[in-house]
Structures are given as structure tokens and as C-alpha cells.
């Protein structure tokens, strides 16, 4: 048996990097803080992303067909690695201020990134589960990283218990699919069912039930309704840099994995799973939009916003076409930068050395910190889908894909719900620009946070310029074509 490690080159870089940094942290525990390990971890993530970009995107299998590298996986890997690097850059100052700056944090980010990178390359049910658990176990620990804080430990425990339930559902679904097919690999499943006519006769009932459980397990990781119950409490209780990380790259990986499963071995049965995805999408958009209206905590509002945004991404998934894949990928790419930028602004909300999270604390921000208010307004307008910002382009792509697939009423309903969701984003802009000023925030201390805010804001504001949008739009189109073959 020969092993070609070329398809897993980026994963090897992450794995070797995390082992090397683990040794550094173990021998230099006292000074192996964010000033040493975090920059090295960010460098490791960036190097891995560069390697992915430079690799040949021709479809290649590894580990006896359980792992696949293609243009689709490459696009998602770059997003995941850059999102993880951005979230890690936000963490250093917060961890130092809260006195929880321990060397394990960058290592957990690397382990989670390794799991996410493997998720989007999973080509079998067993690879799917192993990569998903590597990512999940790391984030369970990160959610409870502030172990002396009651909210943080509660968030970690709640996420762990509910995550274990979701993992059990996923495993049960995988076992049913295996039991009715006799194989674990996606390619073999697609070949086995290639003669199915898409109707109920071509679909074994047990495999359909298994698919429902698999989709349910992945819906939990995406925080889609009705598996969203953990999201508001965990987002609010976890340390803010952890919440920023959870809200970005893991959702990109989960949507990517869902697309890999549904558009691969189960593509012939699009009429079966499309109904499930449409219901989940509508429920996520509606609940996220209406529940966010009454929130006073900014992180909790972003939790419901994340639920709604997953619903919008699922509009593209429900289309079941190459255009739908393209729309979902573009939307998740834009959502990643919107979310990272918004949480960077949250980490700038510091008053008298204490981090605050209330929306009311933003009152009159435009008079005290005009540039921060401008950046946050850009993110809010983009999340609301106001043209010509990037968020509008993302929604345009997914709704167009749904209309092209004949799901016109579904698309119209999504547009109506997005109008409702615009209310709570615009309310934040109103508070920043029209309310009486609250006590001023402390001057920014950590330049990395401001740099992330500036990069994300520029990308959202000028996304209509081809030089900024073409790399993302072109790569997403190539990735969609690679998966839809």
C-alpha cells in the first residue's frame, strides 16, 4: 500500500505545527503566552492557507478514498484558515486583560482548524465523524476556557452536553446509511444509488431516516433551527474571542460539509432532502430575525443573527444546483468577514478596564469614536443586506439561485424575512448616531484588533470593486463546479 500525502499537505502542516507549539508551550509555560505562541499559530495557519492556494486543484484522493482534495475543498480550507487566524489575532489582548492567557488557547484553535479542514475534505461517513469531533472537542474546551467565570463554565458544559446528543444522532444516521448500503465512502454511495430516479422507490426508507439524522447532526453544528437552543447562551457565556471564533470558521466548515454530503452521495435524492432543508431554512431565518429584536446583549443578538444567516445560506443549499452551491459559498465567505469584523468591534467595547457587551453602551459612539462607529455601521448595513455592501451581494446570490431552481415562493419569503431582520441591525446604527453619548470607551490598546476591523470594513464597503470581489467570486464558482461534477 502506498500513501500519497500531497492531498493532505495543509493538514500535515497544521498537525506538525500544533505538535511543535505544544512542546514549546510545555517547556516554556511561564512565558509561552500570546506574545510567543499566538503569532506562531497565526503564521502556521497562514502558511497552510498559502499551501492550499498553491496546490493543484485537480481532484485527488487520500487515505484509501476517505479523504478528497479538490477545488471545492481548497476554497473552504482557505476561508477556514483565514477565519481562524483572524479570530486568533483578536484573542491576545482579551486573554491578557482577563488573566487567562494560557498557552493552550492557540493550540486549541489549531486543533479545531485541523478538524474543520478535514471536514470539508471528508469523503466517507467515518472521516466525516472523526473530523467533526476533532473540531467539536476543541471548541467545547474553548467555550469553558475562562474556568473561574460561572457563565463561561456553564456555556462549555451546555455546549458539551447538547453537542454529545447531536453527535449521537449523527452516528445513528451514519449507521443506518451504512446498514442499507454496505459502504461508508461517498463515491461508492453515489455509484450505488446512481440508478435511483429520485422518487421514493429509489430511496430505501432506512437510508432516508439515516439521512435525516445526519442532517440533524450537522444542523446542530450550524446552529440551525430546531437545533439552535445552545447558541444564545453559549455565545453570551463564552469569552468574546471564543465566540468570534465559533461564529465564523466552524459555520463555514459545517455548511461546506453539508453541501459535500447532500450534493455528493445523496444528490440523486434532491427531491427528498430539499423539503427538509427548506423547512429548516425558513425556521432559522424567521426565528433568528424575530428573536433578535428584543435582545439587549450584543453577543446574544449576534447569536440570533448567526441563526438567521445560516438560514440564508441554506437557501442556496436547498436549490440543489451548481448555482445554489455557488450562492451558499459566496454567502458564507462574506458572512465570515462580516462576523469577524463585528466581534472585533465588540472587543473594542472596553470601559475602565472592563469589557462591556450591552447594546446600550454604544449610545452616541459616533461622537466619541467616529471611526469605530463607522466600521460597525458598515458591518450592520452589510448584515442587513443594504446595497451596495457585500452582504447584499451574498443575499442576491442565494435568492437568485433559489429562483433559478424554481423555488420562487421560498425566495420571496426569505426576502420578506430579511426585511424584518434589518430592523435590529439598523437600531444599532440609530443608537450609535442619534442617542445621547454614554461614557467613552477606553482608547484601543491592541493594534491587532483595530487592524482586523479595518480590513473587514474595507472588504465589506468596497466589495463591488472587482479587484476585491473577483478572487472570492471566481474561486467560489470554480469550487461549485468542482462539487457539482
Q: Write the pLDDT tens digit of every residue in 61-108.
A: 888 888 899 889 999 999 999 999 999 998 888 888 888 888 889 999
| Torsion sign over Cα 72, 74, 77, 79 | negative
pLDDT value for 75: 93
- Binning pLDDT at 50, 70 and 90, where does residue 437 land? confident
pLDDT value for 34: 58
- Binning pLDDT at 50, 70 and 90, where does residue 199 land? very low
Cell numbers for 370, please give them.
467616529
pTM confidence score: 0.92
How far apart CA 107 and CA 157 sit, in angstroms, is: 20
How far apart CA 143 and CA 93 sit, in angstroms, is: 17
pLDDT value for 203: 65
Contact by Cβ (8 Å): 61, 123? yes
pLDDT at 2 over 70: no
How far is C-alpha 420 from the geometric centre of its chain's CA atoms?
23
Contact by Cβ (8 Å): 277, 263? no
pLDDT tens for residues 465-474?
888 888 999 9
Percent of the residues in the chain that have a pLDDT greater than 70, as a whole number: 96
How far apart CA 5 and CA 12 sit, in angstroms, is: 8
How far apart CA 381 and CA 338 sit, in angstroms, is: 10
Contact by Cβ (8 Å): 189, 181? yes
How far apart CA 420 and CA 286 sit, in angstroms, is: 9
The average pLDDT across 34-59 equals 88
Residue scoring higher pLDDT (56 or 399): 399
Q: Which candidate, 230, 303, 293, 324, places its Cα nearest to that of 420?
A: 293
| Chain mean pLDDT for the chain | 88
**Helix/strand/coil for 32:** coil
pLDDT value for 402: 92
How far apart CA 238 and CA 230 sit, in angstroms, is: 12
pLDDT value for 200: 38
| Residue burial 80-109, b: 16+ Cβ < 10 Å; e: rest | bbbbbbbbbbbbbbbbebbebbbbbbbbbb
pLDDT value for 196: 45
> Which residue, chain included where needed, has cell 444546483?
321
User: What are the C-alpha distances in Å from 117 to residues 22, 185, 485?
Assistant: 20, 18, 21
pLDDT at 23 over 90: no
How far apart CA 108 and CA 114 sit, in angstroms, is: 10
Contact by Cβ (8 Å): 440, 368? yes
Amino acid at each position: 500500500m502506498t500513501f500519497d500525502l500531497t492531498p493532505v499537505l495543509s493538514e500535515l502542516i497544521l498537525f506538525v505545527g500544533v505538535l511543535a507549539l505544544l512542546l514549546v508551550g510545555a517547556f516554556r509555560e511561564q512565558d509561552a503566552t500570546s506574545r510567543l505562541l499566538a503569532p506562531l499559530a497565526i503564521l502556521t495557519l497562514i502558511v497552510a492557507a498559502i499551501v492550499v492556494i498553491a496546490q493543484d486543484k485537480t481532484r485527488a484522493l487520500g487515505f484509501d478514498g476517505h479523504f478528497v482534495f479538490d477545488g471545492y475543498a481548497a476554497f473552504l480550507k482557505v476561508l477556514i484558515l483565514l477565519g481562524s487566524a483572524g479570530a486568533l489575532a483578536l484573542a491576545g489582548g482579551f486573554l491578557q486583560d482577563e488573566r487567562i492567557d494560557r498557552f493552550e488557547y492557540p493550540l486549541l484553535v489549531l486543533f479545531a482548524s485541523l478538524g474543520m479542514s478535514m471536514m470539508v475534505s471528508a469523503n466517507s461517513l467515518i472521516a466525516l465523524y472523526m473530523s467533526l469531533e476533532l473540531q467539536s472537542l476543541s471548541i467545547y474546551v474553548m467555550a469553558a476556557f475562562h474556568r473561574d467565570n460561572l457563565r463561561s463554565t456553564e456555556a462549555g458544559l451546555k455546549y458539551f452536553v447538547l453537542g454529545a446528543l447531536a453527535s449521537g444522532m449523527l452516528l445513528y444516521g451514519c449507521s443506518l446509511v451504512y446498514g442499507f448500503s454496505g459502504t461508508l465512502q461517498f463515491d461508492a454511495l453515489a455509484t450505488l444509488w446512481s440508478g435511483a430516479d429520485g422518487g421514493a422507490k429509489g430511496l430505501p426508507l432506512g437510508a432516508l431516516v439515516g439521512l435525516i439524522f445526519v442532517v440533524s447532526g450537522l444542523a446542530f453544528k450550524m446552529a440551525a433551527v430546531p437545533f439552535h437552543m445552545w447558541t444564545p447562551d453559549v455565545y453570551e457565556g463564552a469569552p468574546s474571542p471564543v465566540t468570534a471564533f465559533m461564529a465564523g470558521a466552524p459555520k463555514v466548515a459545517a455548511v461546506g460539509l453539508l453541501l459535500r454530503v447532500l450534493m455528493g452521495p445523496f444528490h440523486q435524492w434532491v427531491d427528498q432532502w430539499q423539503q427538509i432543508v427548506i423547512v429548516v431554512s425558513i425556521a432559522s431565518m424567521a426565528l433568528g430575525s424575530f428573536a433578535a429584536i428584543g435582545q439587549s446583549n450584543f453577543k446574544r443578538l449576534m447569536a440570533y443573527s448567526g441563526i438567521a444567516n445560516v438560514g440564508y445560506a441554506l437557501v442556496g443549499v436547498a436549490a440543489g444546483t451548481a448555482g445554489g452551491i455557488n450562492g451558499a459559498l459566496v454567502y458564507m465567505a462574506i458572512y465570515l468577514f462580516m462576523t469577524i469584523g463585528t466581534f472585533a468591534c465588540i472587543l473594542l467595547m472596553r470601559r475602565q478596564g472592563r469589557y462591556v457587551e450591552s447594546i446600550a453602551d454604544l449610545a452616541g459612539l459616533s461622537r466619541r469614536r467616529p471611526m469605530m462607529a463607522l466600521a460597525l455601521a458598515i458591518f450592520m448595513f452589510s448584515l442587513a443586506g443594504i446595497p451596495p455592501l457585500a452582504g447584499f451581494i451574498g443575499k442576491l446570490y442565494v435568492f437568485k439561485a433559489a429562483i433559478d431552481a424554481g423555488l420562487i415562493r421560498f425566495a420571496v419569503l426569505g426576502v420578506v424575512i430579511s426585511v424584518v431582520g434589518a430592523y435590529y441591525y439598523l437600531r444599532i446604527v440609530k443608537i450609535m448616531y442619534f442617542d445621547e453619548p454614554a461614557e467613552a470607551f477606553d482608547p484601543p490598546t491592541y493594534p491587532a484588533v483595530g487592524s482586523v476591523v479595518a480590513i473587514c470594513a474595507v472588504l465589506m464597503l468596497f466589495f463591488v470593486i472587482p479587484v476585491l470581489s473577483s478572487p472570492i467570486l471566481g474561486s467560489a464558482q470554480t469550487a461549485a463546479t468542482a462539487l457539482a461534477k
